[in-house]
C-alpha cells in the first residue's frame, strides 16, 4: 500500500501512447510482474497489456533495467535489462514520484513513514499553525485506515479548499482517499478505485472477487464496446473493497459510481439496488457494476463457485488433472479456443444429454466466452449432484494466457518471454 | 410527483430526433410550460430546448392539442392547438404511459393511488402469494417516501431478481427508486436523479439550488464539451435532493454519481469529498458535481447570494428597478449581451475603481458568462459594504430568455410565441 503511487506509472503509459502516435517504436520495461501494479491485479493488467501490444507497443514485464548504454557523442544506444538488451534512441524514465519534503523537513515538521508530510484531518502539520496539502502530504486510505502516498490533482484541490476553510475558522476535515485513479491509454479507458485484490489480501480481508467481461451499454445499441471489470469485496462483511476496469467502452463512470459507494461503506447488496441512469446509449438494464456485484453475492452465498484465470493457470502449471469444460457452441470453439489436453467441448444446450461423458469423481472447471454459460453449466452440474464443479471467472474474454484461433497459432499474453518477442 | 412518469415524454423526443434525421420536419407540441417537465425544471429545459431548436425541431410549449384534423382519404392534414394550427402529414402521440393493471384488478389485488399495482417491500401484492414487479407496479420514492409510478427497464430487472430471491426464500427487500432518468437527444446527454426543484418544493423541502454551466473535462483537453448542471439540496439538513444535467458533454456519469450518493443520504459536504477518478480526458480536477455542491455550500453558508434566471425574469416582468451588472470584458459584451435598460457593464478587473458608479441604496444583480466572476463581484461588493447584492446563477450561459449578439437580433428561447415562429 505504501508504495502505491510509486507503482502507478500512469504517465509512462501515456507517453508510450504519445510516442507511438508519432511513429516511434516503444518498448515498455516494467520491473514488476505486470504493468500498472498499483492500479491493477494480474488479470486486468493482462487484458490491458493485450490491447497495448496490439497498438504496436512492446511490453517486457518482470524485467529490471540494469544499465543505460551511451556512445561517445553522449547519445543513448541501448538499454540493458535483467534478461535482454534493447537498442534505443530515447530512454524515458517513468518510475513514479516522491514528495519533495525538503522545506518541511528543514522547518522541523514531521514526515510520515510514506515519505509525505504528516498532517492531521484538518491538514495541520506537526506545527498546528502550518497547514500542508497537495502532492507533498500523505493521506489516510478510507478502507484500510492506513497512511498512503497518492498524489493527485483532484486531492490537492480538495486540500486547498479545506485548508482555506480552516484558516478562516470553518473547521473542515479531510477524511481521506480511496486510491482512485483513471487514465486513457490509446483508446482504452482505464481505472481503479479502492483496493486491488493484492492490496486487499495484504490488508487482511477475506477477499472475494469477480471478473466480468461485458459491453458498456446495450448490445443492440451501435456504440456498445467491450470492457472488463474486476470487483472485489470482503466475504465476511460483504463490503465492497474495490473496482478495476479497462476497455474501449465506458469504464470511468463505473469507477466513479463504486468510488462514491465506497465512501459510504457500501456492500455488494447496495450496488445492485442503486437507481442508476438507464437508457441503451449509456448502460445495460442491469448496469455492469450491478451485474458484477450480483456475481459476488452469488459467490458469497455459495451459489456461484469459481476459480480465477490465475488460479486455473496455477493448477495447470502444477500439473493438476481436471476436466476443463468449454460449453460454447462448436462454431465458437472452431473460431477461438484454449489448446490444452484437459479441454472438453460440450455446448451448454447438450449438457444434460451428455452427462455420461463427465465422470463424477473428477474436478470440472467450466467456462464459455464470458462465463455466463459457464456459470449455468456449474449450476446444472451441481443440480445433477456433481460435487466438484467450478466455473472459470470471466471466461475466454478474460483468459490472458493465450488462445488459438483460425488465423494464428497460440497467442500467449503474459510472461516476458512471449510478450517481448518483438523486442528481444 | 405522482404524475412523474406521465410527464417524462422521453420517447417523444427520441422520435423527434429519429424523424429529423430522416429529413422530416418535426414540431413538438407540449401542454406543459416546458419540455420534459418530469425530468427538468424550467432553466435546464430551456437549455435543452435551445439546442433541440438549433437542430431544426420546432417546440411549442404551453400548447394544448385540441383537434387532429384529417381529410376524406383518412389522412391527417393538420393539428389544432390551443393557439395555432400546424399542417401535418404524421402525428405521433407521446403522452406518457399508464400501467396495464387489468389482470391484477380482476384478480382482486389492491391498486395503488398512482395507478400501479400496490406491492410491499418484498414485492408482494395484497395477496402475499402473488408477487408483482416491472412497469405495472408502483414504487417508493427514496427521498420523499411517497409512492410513485416510474416504470423503467432497470427497475423491472431489479424487481425480477428480488422476486425470484423471495420465492426461493432469500427474503430480499426492494427499497425504492430515485426517479433517475437519462436520455440521448440528438447529441445531448440528458439526465436527472432525485427531485427537481419543483418536486422538492412540492414535497416541502427548504430548497437551495445552483445552475452550473461548465465543461465536462479539462478545458485544455481537446474533447471537452459544454454541460449545464442543476443541483438541488435541502437548506436545513444540507442533504442533496437531486441533479439535472444536459449538454454535449458527459452528464450521465454525474447523474450516476449523485444517484449513488442519494442512496446513502449524502449531503452537499459529501459530494466534494468523493474520491472520483480524475484525469484530463474524463473530468476537471474539481469534478463539476463537486463544484456544484461547493456552490450550494457557499449559498447555505450565506457567502454566495444568488437569484436564478427565473427569479431575475420575474423581477423584470414585475417592473423591478435594479442594476443588472455585467462584469465580463468589453469584448465579451460586444459579442453577446442581454439588452435591457437595467444592464450596466463594469469588467470585474475595474470594479473596485468604479464603485462610484454603483449607488449603495439600489439592488445589484451581477453576472458574467458562467457567474464565477459574477460571484466574485458579489463578494467584492459585499466586502465594500454594499447591502443588496446577488449574482445571477449560471450567468449568460444559463440565461434562457434571449441574448443579442453581433450576428442577429434578440433570440428569445422560452415562450411559445417566439419558439414556435417557424411553425406558426
Length of chain B counted residue by residue = 424
Q: What residues of chain A lie within 8 A of the CB of B282, using their CB?
A: 182, 184, 189, 252
Q: How far is B412 from chain A (nearest CA, A)?
A: 31
A351 domain residue, yes or no: yes
> Are residues A256 and B276, on separate chains, in Cβ contact within 8 Å?
yes
Lowest model confidence (mean pLDDT) among A133-147, A312-326, B186-200, B404-418: B404-418
Do the chains contact at B277 and A182, CB–CB below 8 Å?
yes
The contacts found for A410-413 with CB under 8 angstroms, 24 or more apart, are A410/A339, A413/A46, A413/A49, A413/A50, A413/A53
Binned at pLDDT 50, 70 and 90, residue A401 comes out as confident
Q: What is the mean pLDDT of residues B23-31?
A: 95
Whose CA is closest to A15, among A167, A216, A184? A184
- pLDDT exceeds cutoff 60 at A40: yes
Q: Please compute the mean of the pLDDT values over residues A256-282 and round it to a whole number.
A: 97
Q: What percent of chain A has pLDDT over 70?
A: 93
Q: Is residue B77 part of a domain?
A: yes
End position of a domain, from candidates A242, A267, A300: A300
- Asked whether residue A312 falls in the same domain as residue A285, the answer is no
**Predicted confidence (pLDDT) at residue A380 exceeds the cutoff of 60:** yes
pLDDT, tens digit, for every residue of B189-245?
A: 999 999 999 999 999 999 999 999 999 999 999 999 999 999 999 999 999 999 999
Residues 6+ apart with CB under 8 A from B30: B9, B37, B59, B60, B61, B62, B63
Same domain, B220 and B185: yes
Q: Do A182 and B155 touch (CB under 8 A)?
A: no
At residue A109, the pLDDT reads 98
| DSSP helix/strand/coil, A3 | coil
Average pLDDT over residues B311-338: 95
Domain housing A191: 181-300
pLDDT at A84 over 60: yes
8 Å CB contact of A161 and B266: no
Q: Cβ contact (<8 Å) for B274 and A263? A: yes
pLDDT of residue B419: 33
Residue B260's pLDDT is what? 98
pTM of the model: 0.93
Residue B60: strand pairing partners: B29
pLDDT at A420 over 60: no
Asked whether residue A188 falls in the same domain as residue A292, the answer is yes
Q: Is the pLDDT of residue B188 over 80?
A: yes
Helix B252-263 / helix B288-300 crossing angle, nearest 10 deg: 50
Residue B342's pLDDT band, with cuts at 50, 70 and 90, is: very high
Of A191, A261, A286, the CB nearest to B260: A261
User: Across the interface, which of A142, A174, A257 has its CB nearest the CB of B260?
Assistant: A257
Instruction: Using CB atoms, pick whichever of B180, B252, B277 lies closest to residue A259.
Output: B277
Q: Are the Cβ atoms of B272 and A191 closer than 8 angstroms?
A: no
| A22 shares its domain with A38 | yes
* A154 CB burial (10 A radius; 0-12, 13-18, 19+): buried
Query: Of A260-274, A363-377, B149-163, B403-417, which range is least confident?
Result: B403-417
Residue A304 sits at the vertex; the CA angle it makes with A300 and A308, to the nearest 5 degrees, is 90
Which residue in B10, B272, B277 is closest to A158 by CB distance? B272
Q: Give the cell for residue B346.
A: 463594469
A422: confidence class by pLDDT, cuts 50, 70, 90: very low
Number of compact structural domains in chain A = 4
A and B: number of Cβ contacts within 8 A: 143
Contacts of residue B297 in chain A, CB cutoff 8 Å? none
Question: Is pLDDT of A43 > 70?
Answer: yes
| Model confidence band, residue A424 (pLDDT cutoffs 50, 70, 90) | very low
**pLDDT the model gives residue A7:** 53
Q: Which of A300, A323, A356 is the last residue of a domain?
A: A300
B292 and B313 in a single domain? The answer is no
Residues 6+ apart with CB under 8 A from A353: none
Distance from CA of A189 to the nearest CA of B (A): 9
Average pLDDT score, chain B: 92
- Strand pairing partners for B334? none
pLDDT digits (tens, 9 = 90+) for B152-186: 999 999 999 999 999 999 899 999 999 999 999 99
Does B117 reside within a domain? Answer: yes
Beta bridge partners of A182: A191
Same domain for B377 and B316, yes or no, is yes
Q: Which residue of A has its CA nearest to B250?
A: A253
User: For residues A66 and A58, what is the distance between their CA atoms, to the nearest angstrom?
Assistant: 18
Q: Are residues A203 and A295 in the same domain?
A: yes
Verify that A265 and A155 share a domain, yes or no: no
**Does some domain include residue B410?**
no
Q: Give the per-residue pLDDT at B420.
A: 33
State the nearest Cα–Cα gap between A157 and chain B, in angstroms: 6
d(CA A266, CA B262): 13
- Mean pLDDT of all residues belonging to chain A: 92
Strands (DSSP E) along B284-361, which ranges?
306-307, 323-326, 336-337, 343-345
- As a whole-number percent, the residues of chain B with pLDDT over 90 amount to 88
The residue-averaged pLDDT of B393-406 equals 85
Distance (Å, whole) CA B424 – CA B3:
30
Comparing A229-243, B75-89, B316-330, B399-413, the range with the smallest average pLDDT is B399-413
Helix (H) or strand (E) holding A366: strand A364-367
Identify the residue with better confidence: A97 or B340: B340
CA pair distance A269, A297, nearest whole angstrom: 7
Q: Where does the pLDDT of residue B401 fall: very low under 50, low under 70, confident under 90, or very high at 90 and above?
A: confident
Please check whether residues A326 and A286 belong to one and the same domain: no
**pLDDT exceeding 70 applies to what percent of chain B?**
93
With a cut of 50, say whether residue A411 has pLDDT above it.
no
A93: in domain: no
Same domain, A240 and A153: no
What ipTM does this complex have? 0.93
One domain, residues B210 and B112: no
Residues B42 and B130 in one domain: no
pLDDT at A130 over 80: yes
Do the domain assignments include residue B417?
no
Asked, for residue A24, whether it belongs to a domain, the answer is: yes
Q: Do A272 and B161 lie within an 8 Å CB cutoff?
A: yes
Q: CA end-to-end span of chain A, whole Å?
A: 33
Q: What percent of chain A has pLDDT over 90?
A: 88
Are the beta carbons of B274 and A257 separated by less than 8 Å? no
| pLDDT tens, residue by residue, B264-281 | 999 999 999 999 999 999
pLDDT at residue B8, as a whole number: 63
Establish if A216 belongs to a structural domain. yes
CATH number at residue A193: 3.50.50.60
Amino acid at each position: 500500500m505504501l508504495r502505491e503511487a510509486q507503482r502507478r506509472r500512469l504517465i509512462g503509459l501515456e507517453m508510450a501512447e504519445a510516442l507511438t502516435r508519432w511513429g516511434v517504436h516503444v518498448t515498455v520495461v516494467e520491473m514488476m510482474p505486470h504493468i500498472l501494479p498499483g492500479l491493477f491485479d494480474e488479470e486486468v493488467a493482462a487484458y490491458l497489456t493485450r490491447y497495448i501490444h496490439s497498438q504496436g507497443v512492446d511490453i517486457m514485464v518482470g524485467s529490471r533495467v540494469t544499465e543505460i548504454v551511451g556512445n561517445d557523442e553522449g547519445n543513448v544506444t541501448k538499454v540493458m535489462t535483467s534478461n535482454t538488451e534493447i537498442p534505443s534512441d530515447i530512454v524515458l524514465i517513468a518510475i513514479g514520484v516522491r514528495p519533495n519534503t525538503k522545506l518541511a523537513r528543514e522547518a522541523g515538521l514531521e514526515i510520515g513513514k510514506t515519505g509525505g508530510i504528516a498532517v492531521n484531518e484538518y491538514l495541520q502539520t506537526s506545527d498546528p499553525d502550518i497547514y500542508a496539502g497537495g502532492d507533498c502530504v500523505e493521506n489516510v486510505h478510507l478502507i484500510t485506515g492506513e497512511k498512503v502516498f497518492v498524489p493527485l490533482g483532484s486531492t490537492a484541490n480538495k486540500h486547498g479548499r479545506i485548508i482555506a476553510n480552516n484558516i478562516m475558522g470553518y473547521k473542515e476535515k479531510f477524511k481521506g482517499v480511496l486510491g482512485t485513479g483513471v487514465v486513457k491509454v490509446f483508446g482504452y479507458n482505464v481505472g481503479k478505485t479502492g483496493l486491488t485484490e493484492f492490496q486487499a489480501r495484504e490488508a487482511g480481508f477475506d477477499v472475494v472477487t469477480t471478473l466480468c467481461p461485458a459491453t458498456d451499454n446495450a448490445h443492440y445499441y451501435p456504440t456498445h464496446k467491450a470492457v472488463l471489470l474486476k470487483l472485489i469485496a470482503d466475504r465476511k462483511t460483504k463490503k465492497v473493497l474495490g473496482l478495476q476496469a479497462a476497455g474501449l467502452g465506458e469504464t470511468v463512470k463505473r469507477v466513479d459510481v463504486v468510488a462514491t459507494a465506497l465512501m459510504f461503506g457500501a456492500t455488494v447488496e447496495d450496488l445492485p439496488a442503486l437507481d442508476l441512469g438507464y437508457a441503451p446509449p449509456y448502460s445495460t438494464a442491469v448496469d455492469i457494476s450491478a451485474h458484477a456485484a450480483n456475481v459476488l453475492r452469488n459467490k458469497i452465498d455459495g451459489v456461484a463457485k469459481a476459480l480465477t484465470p490465475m488460479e486455473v493457470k496455477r493448477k495447470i502449471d502444477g500439473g493438476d488433472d481436471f476436466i476443463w469444460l468449454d460449453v460454447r457452441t462448436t462454431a465458437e470453439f472452431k473460431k477461438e479456443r484454449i489448446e490444452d489436453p484437459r479441454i472438453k467441448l460440450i455446448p451448454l444446450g447438450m449438457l444434460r444429454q451428455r452427462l455420461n461423458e463427465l465422470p463424477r469423481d473428477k474436478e470440472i472447471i467450466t467456462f464459455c466466452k464470458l462465463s455466463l454459460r459457464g456459470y449455468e453449466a456449474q449450476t446444472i452440474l451441481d443440480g445433477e449432484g456433481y460435487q466438484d464443479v467450478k466455473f472459470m471467472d470471466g471466461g475466454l474474454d478474460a483468459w490472458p494466457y493465450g488462445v488459438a484461433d483460425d488465423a494464428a497459432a497460440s497467442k500467449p499474453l503474459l510472461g516476458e518471454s512471449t510478450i517481448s518477442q518483438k523486442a528481444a
